[in-house]
Amino acid sequence: MPWKRRAGHRAAALSLAAAAVVLGGCAAPAPVAVKALDNSPSPVKSAVVHPSQGTQGTQGTQGTQEPEDAVTEKPVSYRPADPEDTVRTPSGYLVNKCVPRRLYEHVTTLTTQDGKHLSTLILGKGPDAVYFGHQYGGQICNFLDLAEEFAKRGYRVMLPEFRNHVASEKSDSSSALDAKAAFDKLKDLGTKRVFLAGASCGGTTAATQGVASGIPLAGLALLSSPARCDGDAVAAVKKIKAPSMFLVEHDDMQGGHERQIRELYEASAASDKRLVAVDGEEHGTLMLYGSKEDDERRAMVVSFIANAFTAGDEAGGGSR
């Protein structure tokens, strides 16, 4: 039901100001060691169903992706940011309990350049990929339904959970190195094109690290993203000629985020660029869930991403 979906996103999505508190002010929880387990995940009191799964529960098979070689990293031991909302998969990886069990075989752990560990989902397969970066203060499931949608359509999907968020490693600061680790993995997997999508600071780092990765870009979609957050997205969008979309609600942070999104839109080098500014005060992925208009906006994002790949095919490949 839409209200349940929205409630889940509201619980996971905080404003940038609140996220700063989350990232900088939490006491370190007790470490959770990762070890080999039997064929059952760590106990969970009740099945956690992502909003996009309706009432099928975590044991359903719809949308399950064929096992493949994307998950190659071995489980490691580290302290998750939120042990109460973290579970272990049968293979020993830590993951946010919002992730359905049918996706556990696609959970891995990425290690950043500075040695932090990120709980990550890698869905689908193929040379074309979609990267989703959740907003700071959010979680891996903010984009999970869109991730599964594109995996079903034949794309590889990269969905990291950033440091100091739920099942990823506890940290006292954010870092663009999290996104870099995800793009490094995509390069290792032979990715030929990638579409960059992200909410808030997760969009800012998607743009900056996506450009820095050198992978040809299929397109860009930013939701309420600051012009600068762990990197300079203005400088990045000046280098992105692929189709680009910029979404924001007018009263998000009293209009502060609209001003920054407009700065990014104006700086964008894309010939096909779209600014979507609508009434409201919701931030990031909260713009995509809860009402008929939100559902239409989410469908617009899906269509834009798919069409960006089609446009790239017609032009002979991805563009910077």
d(CA 266, CA 261): 9
**Residue 318: what residue type?**
G
Helix (H) or strand (E) holding 22: helix 16-25
- Asked whether residue 35 carries a pLDDT value surpassing 50, the answer given is no
d(CA 134, CA 12): 10
Express each pLDDT in 102-155 by its tens digit: 999 999 999 999 999 999 999 999 999 999 999 999 999 999 999 999 999 999
Q: What does the block give as tokens for 310? A: 């089609």
pLDDT of res. 319: 57
pLDDT of res. 294: 96
d(CA 135, CA 151): 21
β-partners of residue 246 are 222, 275
- Positive or negative, the Cα torsion across 73, 74, 75, 81? negative
Greater model confidence, 254 or 25? 254
pLDDT of res. 47: 30
pLDDT band of 71, cuts 50, 70, 90: confident
Which residue has 């680009």 as its token pair? 244
Kindly report the average pLDDT of the chain as a whole number: 83
d(CA 180, CA 113): 8
pLDDT of res. 199: 98
pLDDT of res. 307: 97
pLDDT band of 65, cuts 50, 70, 90: very low
3-state secondary structure 155-209: CEEEEECCCCCCCCECCCCCCCHHHHHHHHHHHHCCCCEEEEEEECHHHHHHHHH
pLDDT band of 34, cuts 50, 70, 90: very low
d(CA 108, CA 283): 28
3-state secondary structure of 267: helix
Number of residues that make up the chain = 320
pLDDT of res. 264: 98
Span 167-185, average pLDDT: 97
d(CA 319, CA 43): 46
- Asked whether residue 160 carries a pLDDT value surpassing 90, the answer given is yes
Judged by average pLDDT, the poorest of 12-16, 36-40, 181-185 is: 36-40
Span 34-55, average pLDDT: 34
User: Which runs of E-coded beta strand occur in the chain?
Assistant: 86-88, 94-96, 107-111, 117-123, 128-133, 156-160, 193-199, 217-223, 244-249, 273-278
Per-residue burial over 195-217, b = 16 or more CB atoms within 10 Å of its CB, e = otherwise: bbbbbbbbbbbbbbbbbbbebbb
Q: How far is CA 266 from CA 3, 80, 114, 227, in A?
A: 35, 39, 34, 11
Judged by average pLDDT, the poorest of 11-15, 75-79, 112-116 is: 11-15
pLDDT of res. 73: 86
pLDDT of res. 146: 98
pLDDT of res. 70: 77
Span 229-258, average pLDDT: 98
- In percent, the amount of the chain with pLDDT more than 90 equals 74
d(CA 97, CA 113): 26
Which residue has 């059952």 as its token pair? 40
pLDDT of res. 312: 77
Greater model confidence, 318 or 25? 318
pLDDT of res. 9: 57
pLDDT of res. 316: 66
pLDDT of res. 133: 98
The answer to whether the CB of 207 falls within 8 A of the CB of 183 is no
d(CA 181, CA 18): 25
